[in-house]
Amino acid sequence: MKLIEMSILKFLDEVDSNSPAPGGGSVSALVSALGTSLTRMVAHLTFDKKKFKELSEEDRNCFKLNFDKMGEIRKKLEILIDKDTEAYNLVMSAYKLPKETEEEKEKRNEWIQNSLKEAISTPLEICRLSREALRIMGIIIKHGNKNAITDLGVSAILLLSGIEGGILNVMVNLSSIKDETFKNLCLDETKEIIEESQKLKNNIMEFVKSYL
């Protein structure tokens, strides 16, 4: 059974076990997916409100566009919940390849490096998607139902947590990568993502707290 298809209790039990996967990467994807869901919940609670209907057509269309984009991000994150665990299993399989002969060692090392890059690409994509979700929260938090403003604060916290968890999973695999160009590109991107995302989250939290 796919992780995304499990009940909440079953997923919790799966994480709370002696199996190393699903681990931090899959949980990070889930956390960010919850963040997008909370943002969309606030939008759902906004559409029928008088204040929203009084907005200009341009603002209403922009709000709906970002609502739809958030849904697309959620679906992609759902896929990554399972993909991260699959990538981990791929790495473990590569380490189990035979290494008796020089040819076997060379093939094993190649498979390890390729699988590690795959294991990095998944949490990196979690980070990219989560940052994009934080970026498009602006119009929703501006026009969203203020009775649910704290839910948007929780959403921002969850999305940043997904990013921070994703970066940890990038870093742990990056330490074994031999391709220095690939390694530096990943380091530069994760630095850029976390710096921007922290600012976005802080701006959202300031807005939220102004209504408390």
In sequence order, what DSSP letters do the residues of 101-158 get, joined into one string?
SHHHHHHHHHHHHHHHHHHHHHHHHHHHHHHHHHHHHHHHHHHS-GGGHHHHHHHHHH
Residue 66 domain flag: yes
pLDDT at 141: 94
Residues 6+ apart with CB under 8 A from 161: 28, 31, 32
The HSE-up count of residue 39 (CA atoms within 13 Å, CB side) is 35
Domain membership of residue 71 as a residue range: 23-209
Residue 180 domain flag: yes
Residue 8 domain flag: no
The reported pTM is 0.94
pLDDT at 21: 84
Residue 18 domain flag: no
pLDDT at 66: 97
Kindly give the parts of the chain with pLDDT less than 70: none
Give the CATH number for residue 155.
Answer: 1.20.120.680
Residue 109 domain flag: yes
Residue 201 domain flag: yes
pLDDT at 31: 98
pLDDT at 168: 96
pLDDT at 181: 96
